[in-house]
Amino acid sequence: MYPAPFRYHRAASVEAAIRQLSELGEGARALAGGQSLLVWMKMRFGDFTDLVDIGRISGLDTIEQDAAGVRIGALATHARIARSPLAKLLPIVGDCANGIADNQVRSRGTIGGSLASGDPACDWPVLLTTLDAKLHTQGPDGKRDLPVDGFVEDLYVTKLKPGELITGISFAMPARGSAGAYVGFKRCAPAYPTISVGVQLSLKDGQCEDIRIALGSAGLTTIHARAAEAELRGKTLTPASLARAADAAVDECDPVEDQRGSIAFKQSIIKVLVKRGIETARRRSQGETVEVSHEYY
Ligand SMILES: Cc1cc2nc3c(=O)[nH]c(=O)nc-3n(C[C@H](O)[C@H](O)[C@H](O)COP(=O)(O)OP(=O)(O)OC[C@H]3O[C@@H](n4cnc5c(N)ncnc54)[C@H](O)[C@@H]3O)c2cc1C
């Protein structure tokens, strides 16, 4: 289906985009990569009268890292992040970026759009919850820094206010010895994951010193699996403790039945992926090079 008629505007700066979005009102939306928005418009979800193209605002697609942390501009595409030195330095970032859809989507879709869409199947919100990231916004009332964890309040509903833009995200560089993994399970490349799991952990004296686990496509928003983490924090990673964590994660999730599978099927995938994510992160934290990405079925 074709989208309903709309007016196209191009913004030259963040300030101009905020002004245009505020003046144009409720039917106006920021257009970044268009890989979610144009699909929604073609399906006639919502009444989008005006698109404000933010895609050519300069300086919003940078990827910077130093000892203190990582900063990624909202317009950095999935492909740009996948090719960046950051994806090699932090394999969990490469796992995620390389697993998103296909080359076409990765070349257009942006990390900011992935967060702003409020879609529980998108990969970046899961990865960034795992890394305890913050997002940075600018809007008619000024700038804000918000935790990614909890930014999506409900299905497609975020904490963004009218006219407010995500300008970037940042997270602290994981401590030495801490390692992560991002694993997903999907039907084919240009499909969203059926389930995805991010894990970041550190070990001390053979025990799990700290761990964060997040899941995507497992409920109406990204799930931060705190009960699963509690099953492992301060404990030894054994098949039994991993199984308890995987069971706890299933209890924290609320997957829905859809074309990707039944609830029982998704629960079984959650169990497998939580264990696989933890095991991969554990091996990486001990210096092993382990390749993982989304798997297809
Ligand atoms: C076939 C297909 C397969 C896909 N598979 C996957 C997948 O496996 N994993 C995955 O994670 N994603 C997948 N996607 C989604 C893709 O990653 C999108 O690019 C992403 O979700 C949205 O980013 P975008 O830049 O295209 O945003 P847009 O589509 O331009 O915008 C999406 C929404 O976010 C808002 N927005 C965009 N940028 C900002 C900003 N900076 N500030 C405030 N609001 C903003 C827009 O107004 C709109 O409401 C898939 C998409 C397609 C078409």
Name the band, by pLDDT with cuts 50, 70 and 90, for residue 293. confident
Note the pLDDT of residue 1.
Answer: 84
Answer whether residue 247 shows pLDDT above 90.
Answer: yes
Q: State mean pLDDT over 140-165.
A: 98
Name the band, by pLDDT with cuts 50, 70 and 90, for residue 274. very high
Q: State mean pLDDT over 119-128.
A: 98
Q: Is the CB of 110 under 6 A from ligand 1?
A: yes
Q: How far does residue 283's CA lie from ligand 1's centre (Å)?
A: 32
Answer whether residue 55 shows pLDDT above 90.
Answer: yes
Which of 145, 172, 199 is the last residue before a domain boundary? 172
Q: Is the CB of 31 under 6 A from ligand 1?
A: yes
Does residue 155 sit in the same domain as residue 196?
A: no
% of residues, the chain, pLDDT over 70 = 100
Residue 2 maps to a domain: no
Does residue 89 sit in the same domain as residue 158?
A: yes
Note the pLDDT of residue 206.
Answer: 87
Q: Is the CB of 105 under 6 A from ligand 1?
A: yes
Answer whether residue 68 shows pLDDT above 90.
Answer: no
- pTM comes to 0.97
Question: What is d(CA 282, CA 73) in angstroms, rounded to the nearest whole number?
Answer: 30
Answer whether residue 295 shows pLDDT above 90.
Answer: no
Answer whether residue 46 shows pLDDT above 90.
Answer: no
Q: State mean pLDDT over 11-38.
A: 98
Name the band, by pLDDT with cuts 50, 70 and 90, for residue 294. confident
Q: Is the CB of 118 under 6 A from ligand 1?
A: no
Question: What is d(CA 123, CA 215) in angstroms, rounded to the nearest whole number?
Answer: 9
Q: Is the CB of 100 under 6 A from ligand 1?
A: yes
CATH number of the domain that 285 lies in? Answer: 3.30.390.50
Q: State mean pLDDT over 105-127.
A: 98
Residue 58 maps to a domain: no
Tell me which residue range forms the domain holding 238.
179-296
Q: How far does residue 124's CA lie from ligand 1's centre (Å)?
A: 10
- Strands 50-53 vs 28-31: parallel, antiparallel or unpaired: parallel
Q: State mean pLDDT over 166-184.
A: 97
% of residues, the chain, pLDDT over 90 = 95
Residue 233 maps to a domain: yes
CATH number of the domain that 24 lies in? Answer: 3.30.43.10
Does residue 238 sit in the same domain as residue 165?
A: no
Give the sheet arrangement for strand 295-296, strand by strand. 223-224, 207-216, 195-204, 179-186, 295-296
Does residue 261 sit in the same domain as residue 239?
A: yes
Q: How far does residue 173's CA lie from ligand 1's centre (Å)?
A: 25
Per-residue model confidence as pLDDT tens digits over 201-234: 999 998 999 999 999 999 999 999 999 999 999 9
Note the pLDDT of residue 35.
Answer: 98
Note the pLDDT of residue 264.
Answer: 98
Residue of 65, 122, 132, 127 lying closest to 95 (CA atoms):
127
Note the pLDDT of residue 8.
Answer: 98
Note the pLDDT of residue 148.
Answer: 98
Tokens for 155, please give them: 């299905």
Residue 1 maps to a domain: no
Does residue 184 sit in the same domain as residue 266?
A: yes
Q: State mean pLDDT over 229-245.
A: 98
Atom of ligand 1 nearest to the CA of 109: 19
Does residue 89 sit in the same domain as residue 161?
A: yes
Name the band, by pLDDT with cuts 50, 70 and 90, for residue 286. very high
Give the number of domains in the chain: 3
Which of 157, 172, 187 is the last residue before a domain boundary? 172
Q: State mean pLDDT over 128-150.
A: 98
